[in-house]
Copies of this chain bind each other. A is one copy, B any other.
Amino acid sequence: MDVPEVPSKVDPDSLTAVLDGRWAELRRGVRAQMAGTEFRDPIDLATEPHRAQVLDQLRALAATDRPGLGFDPAYGGGGDVGGSVTSFEMLGYGDLSLMVKAGVQWGLFGGAVQLLGTEGHHERYLRSIVNLDLLGCFAMTEHGHGSDVQHLRTTATYEDGGFVVHTPDPMAQKEYIGNAARDGRMAVVFAQLITGGESRGVHAFLVPIRDTEGNPLPGVSIEDCGPKAGLNGVDNGRLSFDHVRVPREALLNRFGDVDENGTYSSPIESDSRRFFTMLGTLIRGRVSVGGSAGSATKRALALAIRYGEHRRQFATPDGEEVVILDYLAHQRKLLPALAKTYALHFAQEELVSKLHDIDSSAPEEEQRELESRAAGLKALNTWHATATIQAAREACGGAGYLAENLLPGLKADTDVFTTFEGDNTVLLQLVAKGLLTSYKQDFQDLSPLATARFFAEQVVSAVLERTSARKAVEALTEGSDAEVFFRREWQLRLFEDREEHVVEGVAKRLRKAASDPFGVFNSAQDHVLRAGRVHVERLVLTAFAAAIERCEDPDARTLLERVCDLYALSAIEEDLAWFLGHGRLTASRGKAVTAAVNGLCAQLRPHARALVDAFAIPEQFLAAPMLKS
């Protein structure tokens, strides 16, 4: 297969300029700071010194103005939401425990105070949260409820002018709470608000958990979650409350309040809708996890590709040993993953921009669409991280298994990303639900039952109507393989067509849900998940294509065109059974896709190093002994 040519040499800096995008200056600043030796990796540190090192690193970050970026300028913040999320993403190049600890403190704890609280809370707490005088936790997940947070069981009952926070049973214990086991002094606790004997759904409360000496306050029990697969620099713990009294003002009351008489009021009538609106304001955490998963993936690929250019094994006819990245099988392990990493980077960049630009007066559908995009990209980014870091480890053989070569830490730390800040499987269901309901319903109610019930209603017919306006599929088959494969419009049309078909199929299946909502939902669950995935893949390809348009260096641009082709064609190859089975590709064209992927691997092989150098990862995070000898 003839693959369009690429320039013989491309300057990584030109690629970095495109990758850095809108927050380029901020990225340069974070990079420069992270090059400092205080941000070193925690090779072979025991838990306690590791936790201490991460807290020191957190304080070093607090000395800059970046932790405040996401906060209100009225309280010393930067008012730069996109910059804030981007700086979390950049922390993903270093020790991921630091990224998570920073995310808990400033993203989740601080974010909840800012976004769920009101002026009094901001005035009282935001400055000390930013400067770390007040270390806090985000206590949502419980032992018995993680994905289904609407049914948390901790209670906050209004009595005698304040709230009594209580853990009624062991399943209601707060679980995996970052900052809880060692450093946190206060927690934002999510609990069922009860007043006048009536429950008003889940709300957030500020609950002090430790005194100034660090001892648990009366009524608060704290356990350490103990060793984890990774992220051992983060002190995850369990919290439970035995009738702990907090004042009325402890309620973060932006979306719901209780007056002195115990009367509840809220701008949003439905308890469920209110709760999912509250959750929706907290998407920055999910966006940050997706972004930092991308950073960890870039680091793993940079290590594996450098090793692949360094390590030799088996001789060629001329007697010289072959650099292992010259083997097709090795290219196949790493280069399509590298292309997808570029693609997800640009999609993430676009997401961050949308998050930054949306304002509170935006139509609700727009907010829901943003939440869907955040959920979907978090899922794809983190699954991609897990798979790619695994492949990178294997591509480095025994060397990749030694802690000093950094891949074991990356693997262990990122492993939980697929299931925290929203389990990926559940998140893809949320994406599919948005597609089917045009983002009009109580969006984050993820229960299968709630999802299924929609489809006893008229919602589905709207979907069917929308997708029936499908453009002619014939356009997909015009031209020779080599002519169509490298045409962006053809690739996009193929992705769009697949999405339309899958979404339509799901809608048809779910129309029968009235009779047996759970059964019908469950038997269509694989299609539901596919709908979510293919939708996000289409968004990703669109974002990559748009980013190329912004590239000014013609050589870099040509190279990125081929990287984008590799992303698109390897995604098609991965789902080839679908494209063949639904008549979108003929058998011979299907084989040609594989040939094209191989051809692109060969074309991009000489640029692999430039493509990872363009990530501009501080060298101390790539200082693996395996690359030196």
A148 touches B401 (CB 8 A): no
Would you list which residues of chain A between 540 and 596 have a CB under 8 Å from chain B?
A: 573, 576-577, 580-583, 587, 590-591, 594
User: In the complex the two chains form, is A525's CB within 8 Å of B229's CB?
Assistant: no
Interface contact A313-B229, CB-CB below 8 Å: no
From A77-85, A139-147, A180-188, A616-624, the one touching the partner chain is A139-147
Report whether B448 and A322 are in contact in the complex, using a CB–CB cutoff of 8 Å.
yes
Note all chain B residues with C-beta closer than 8 A to A144: 312
| Residue of B whose beta carbon sits closest to that of A409 | B229
Residue-by-residue, is A436-455 near B (CB-CB < 8 Å gives 1, otherwise 0)?
00000000001111000000
Cβ-defined contact, A415 with B401, below 8 A: yes
Q: How far is the CA of A321 from the CA of B407 in the complex (A)?
A: 39
A147 touches B313 (CB 8 A): yes
**Min CB gap A427→B, angstroms:** 12
Known: A148-B313, A328-B525, A587-B583. A401 touches B425 (CB 8 A): no
Partner pick for A400 among B44, B170, B332, B419, CB 8 A cutoff: B419
Given contacts A229-B401, A576-B577, contact A523 B44 (CB under 8 A): no
- A590 near B581: Cβ-Cβ < 8 Å: yes
- Chain B residue with the shortest CB-CB distance to A629: B170
The residues of B that contact A227 with a CB separation of less than 8 Å are: 43-44, 402-404
Q: A402 to chain B: closest CB distance in Å? A: 6
- In chain A, residues 31-54, which have Cβ atoms closer than 8 Å to a Cβ of chain B? 43-44, 46
Smallest CB gap from A418: residue in B: B394
Interface membership of A196, Cβ < 8 A: no
A328's partner among B171, B315, B400, B526 (CB-CB below 8 A) is: B526
A397 to B144, CA, bound (A): 12
Residue of B nearest to A588 (CB): B581
CB atoms of B315 and A449 under 8 A apart? yes
**A344 at the binding interface (Cβ < 8 Å):** no
Check B518–A316 contact: CB distance below 8 A.
Answer: yes
**Contact A402/B328 with A313-B148, A314-B148, A580-B581 known, Cβ cut-off 8 Å:** no
Given contacts A314-B446, A322-B448, A419-B394, contact A327 B525 (CB under 8 A): yes
Q: How far is the CB of A18 from chain B (nearest CB, A)?
A: 31
Nearest Cβ on chain B to A459's Cβ, whole angstroms = 19
Query: Is the CB–CB distance between A415 and B393 below 8 Å?
Result: yes
> Whole-angstrom distance between the alpha carbons of A205 and B594 in the complex?
47
CB of A419 within 8 A of CB of B398, answer yes
Q: Which residues of A in the span 229-262 have a Cβ within 8 Å of any Cβ on B? A: 229-230
Whether A582 and B587, one on each chain, are in contact in the complex, defined by CB atoms closer than 8 angstroms, is: yes
A317 at the interface (CB under 8 A from B): yes
Answer yes or no: A482 CB below 8 A from chain B CBs.
Answer: no
How far apart are the CA atoms of A446 and B329 in the complex, in Å? Answer: 15
Interface contact B449-A316, CB-CB below 8 Å = yes
Does chain B have a CB within 8 A of A476?
Answer: no
Q: Do B46 and A314 have beta carbons less than 8 Å apart?
A: no
Mask for A279-302, Cβ within 8 A of B = 1, else 0? 000000000000000000000000
A373 CB, min distance to chain B CBs, angstroms: 21
Give the CA-CA distance A317 to B228 in the complex, in Å: 36
Closest beta carbon of chain B to A240's beta carbon, Å: 13
Does A326 make an interface contact (CB < 8 A)? yes
In the complex, the answer to whether B581 meets A329 with C-beta atoms within 8 Å is no
* Min CB gap A332→B, angstroms: 6
Q: Is A372 an interface residue when CB atoms closer than 8 A count as contact?
A: no
Q: Shortest CB–CB separation between residue A196 and chain B, in angstroms?
A: 24
Is residue A390 contacting chain B, with contact meaning CB distance below 8 A?
A: yes
CB distance from A376 to the nearest CB of B (A): 16
Query: Residue A229 contacts which of B44, B145, B403, B573 (CB distance < 8 angstroms)?
Result: B403
Contact residues of A between 79 and 128, Cβ < 8 Å to B: none
B44 touches A146 (CB 8 A): no
Contact of A416 (CB < 8 Å), options: B398, B590, B591: B398
List chain B residues, Cβ under 8 A from A591: 581
A447 / chain B contacts, CB cutoff of 8 Å: 314-315
Among A299-347, those with CB < 8 Å from B are 312-317, 321-322, 326-329, 332
A490 at interface (Cβ–Cβ under 8 A)?
Answer: no
Known: A151-B315, A590-B581. Contact between A176 and B398, CB under 8 A? yes
Tell me which residues across on chain B come within 8 A of A148, comparing CB atoms.
313-315, 321
Interface residue? A492 (CB, 8 A): no
- Enumerate chain B residues within 8 angstroms of A404, measured Cβ to Cβ: 226-227
Which residue of chain B has its CB nearest to the CB of A428? B329
Chain B residues with Cβ below 8 Å from A420 are: 398, 401
A517 sits at the interface (CB 8 A): yes
Q: Is the CB of B448 within 8 A of A228?
A: no
Counting chain B CB atoms within 10 Å of each CB, which of A404, A408, A412, A581 scores highest?
A581
| Top-7 shortest CB links A-B | A229-B408, A576-B577, A227-B403, A577-B577, A314-B447, A580-B580, A328-B525
23 contacts between A and B (CB under 8 A): A145-B313, A146-B398, A147-B397, A170-B629, A171-B629, A176-B398, A176-B401, A230-B408, A315-B447, A316-B449, A316-B518, A327-B522, A328-B523, A328-B525, A394-B418, A397-B419, A401-B415, A401-B416, A576-B577, A576-B581, A577-B577, A580-B587, A581-B587
Additional A-B contact list (9), CB under 8 Å, known A397-B423, A581-B590? A147-B397, A148-B321, A175-B398, A226-B402, A226-B404, A317-B518, A329-B425, A394-B424, A408-B415
